[in-house]
């Protein structure tokens, strides 16, 4: 069974992403969305990176890009290529995406109220 075959016919929730990320067959599984259900997921092993997108019309997942990793092609390059392919699959030109609306630019807020007080 392939990774795509194991996915439910809908976008993934946070728990499902955690389970996918913990799968022995994968080294990495991350959504391209910052929050909410994931309809674009990057999965990777030591040999490849795949960009998976949920196709709402077909109610199924599809592999929109696969990048083989090598000495010349690093994982980060594969992740970026696959993320761009997911955006194109959704009808967005990756060149038009600004830093503000780019997927994956989430920076968690730090709640200073729970940080220990500094003493000098």
Average pLDDT over residues 44-58: 95
Distance CA 85, CA 51 (A): 7
Distance CA 14, CA 111 (A): 22
User: How high is the pLDDT of residue 100?
Assistant: 59
The answer to whether 40 touches 65, Cβ cutoff 8 Å, is no
- Higher local confidence (pLDDT), 47 or 23: 47
Match 């913990």 to its residue by tokens. Answer: 22
58-69 tens-digit pLDDT: 999 999 999 999
Q: In terms of pTM, does the model score above 0.75?
A: yes
User: 3-state class of 52 per DSSP?
Assistant: strand
Distance CA 53, CA 112 (A): 37
- Higher local confidence (pLDDT), 26 or 35: 26
72-115 tens-digit pLDDT: 999 999 999 999 999 999 988 888 766 555 554 434 334 444 44
CA-derived radius of gyration, the chain: 17
User: How high is the pLDDT of residue 111?
Assistant: 45
Distance CA 48, CA 50 (A): 7
Distance CA 120, CA 108 (A): 28
- Higher local confidence (pLDDT), 11 or 35: 11
């Amino acid at each position: 069974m392939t990774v795509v075959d194991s996915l439910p016919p809908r976008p993934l929730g946070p728990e499902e992403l955690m389970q996918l990320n913990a799968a022995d067959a994968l080294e990495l599984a991350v959504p391209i969305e910052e929050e909410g259900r994931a309809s674009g997921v990057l999965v990777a092993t030591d040999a490849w990176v795949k960009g998976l997108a949920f196709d709402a019309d077909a109610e199924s997942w599809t592999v929109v890009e696969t990048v083989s990793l090598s000495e010349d092609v690093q994982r980060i390059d594969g992740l970026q290529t696959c993320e761009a392919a997911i955006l194109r699959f959704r009808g967005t030109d990756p060149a038009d995406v600004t830093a503000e609306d780019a997927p994956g630019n989430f920076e968690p807020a730090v709640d200073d109220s729970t940080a220990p007080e500094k003493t000098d």
